Amino acid sequence: MSEILFLAAEAPQYKFGFVVDQPNAVSACLFYLCMGILVWVGVSRARAGLPLPEIKRIPGLEAFDEAVGRATEMGRPVHMTNYDEGIGYEDTFAYWSYMAYVAKLCAQYDTRLIVTDSSYLCNAVHQDIVRQAYLEAGRPDAFNPDDIRYISGTQFAWAMNINGIIAREKPAAQFLIGYFYAEALLIAEAGALIESIQVAATIATTQIPFFIATCDYVMIGEEMYAGAAWLSRDPIITGSVVSQDIFRIVIFVAVILGALLETFAPGHNFIKTFCNF
């Protein structure tokens, strides 16, 4: 009985009937609310065609046309893949924007595109995306569903199969877009061995050094999302990226202002007081 009373005493108390009585509870709730409202406004403006701050073109995006063009000149295929993918993953949504763009380029240049998947559900979506890209390019007959391949959901079974495809097909261009783990270096090194132009984009900070060492172009962190918005011009992606960047600027300003107040007026730092509320 005493243990139950002790645990009850240690349980978090609530302010206002629903907010946990702990530092940052109310301020964090307000931050999330403001962020949600800002994203909703950005998406709504993008859907309505109203002006938004422009997303700057990332230098790595220029490599997509260059890589597909080189594959076309050499008469070799283009390979595109993402390991950690799922229907509801934010990285997968960004990956689809890149896929649609690359597929349309390959259709226009009559270049073979190979897409490899680790999710059978995503494989069905990828087939539709690539088929639609070929249809928009006016070449629906050139679409080959056998080149949109589900490999395996197991990490290294998937990686070794990808390496086998790279060794056999010898793609002149390889796009590694999404979230990767230890298999990143294996695949990128296989592409480097056949002198393929490789473009990578990932938010996996542990894999960025390996991509930098083996790939020709690398989009780091949230550049992947910004690049997806720039290529697709999708209002939901564009509005979300722009809104998050605006909110990030606001947070940076608040951090600098809070640091100055804590340095020169530690007893009157209203930003610190608010954040601890």
Say how far apart CA 212 and CA 199 lie, in whole Å: 10
Are 201 and 255 members of one domain? no
Written as one string, the DSSP assignment of 264-277 is: H-GGG-HHHHHHT-
**What contacts 182, CB < 8 A, 6 or more positions away?**
155
Q: Which residues contact 178 (CB under 8 A, 6 or more apart)?
A: 82, 83, 84, 85, 91, 92, 94, 95, 201, 202, 224
Judge if 121 and 150 occupy the same domain: yes
DSSP code of residue 87: T
Note the pLDDT of residue 106.
92
Three-state secondary-structure class, residue 50: coil
**Chain segment 152-164, per-residue pLDDT in tens:** 888 889 999 999 9
d(CA 17, CA 1): 27
Structure tokens at 265: 């007026």
Instruction: Tell me, yes or no, whether 150 and 46 share the same domain.
Output: no
In the chain, the number of structural domains is: 2
How is residue 119 written in tokens?
A: 């999710």
pLDDT for 17 equals 47
Q: How many helices (H) and strands (E) does the chain have?
A: 11, 8
Q: Does residue 125 sit in the same domain as residue 142?
A: yes
Q: Is the pLDDT of residue 9 over 70?
A: no
Question: 107 and 243: one domain?
Answer: no
75 shares its domain with 149: yes
CA separation for the pair 86, 76 (Å, rounded): 29
Check pLDDT > 90 for residue 34: no
35 and 67 belong to one structural domain: no
- pLDDT for res 6: 46
Q: What's the whole-number average pLDDT of the chain?
A: 84
Distance, CA of 169 to CA of 191 (rounded, Å):
11
* Residue 131 to residue 139: CA distance in whole angstroms: 9
82 closest CA partner among 106, 54, 116, 51? 116
When pLDDT is cut at 50, 70 and 90, the band that residue 274 belongs to is confident
Q: How far is CA 219 from the centre of its chain?
A: 10
User: What single-letter amino acid sits at 164?
Assistant: G
Return left, alpha or beta for 179; rule: phi > 0 is left, psi -120 to 50 is alpha, else beta. Answer: beta
Q: Which CATH number covers residue 98? A: 3.40.50
Regarding whether 226 and 93 lie in a shared domain, the answer is: yes
Q: Are residues 183 and 93 in the same domain?
A: yes
Q: Are residues 114 and 161 in the same domain?
A: yes
> What mean pLDDT comes out for the span 32-38?
85
Phi-psi region of 77 (alpha: psi -120 to 50; beta: other; left: phi over 0): beta
Q: Which domain holds residue 117?
A: 59-232
Question: How many C-beta atoms lie closer than 10 Å to residue 147's C-beta?
Answer: 18
Residues 123 and 250 in one domain: no
pLDDT digits (tens, 9 = 90+) for 184-239: 899 999 999 999 999 999 988 889 999 999 999 998 888 888 888 888 877 877 88
- Are residues 129 and 113 part of one domain? yes
Interval 67-125: pLDDT, tens? 999 999 999 999 999 988 778 788 888 899 999 999 999 999 989 999 999 888 888 99
Q: What is the pLDDT of residues 215-227, one digit of tens each?
A: 999 988 888 888 8
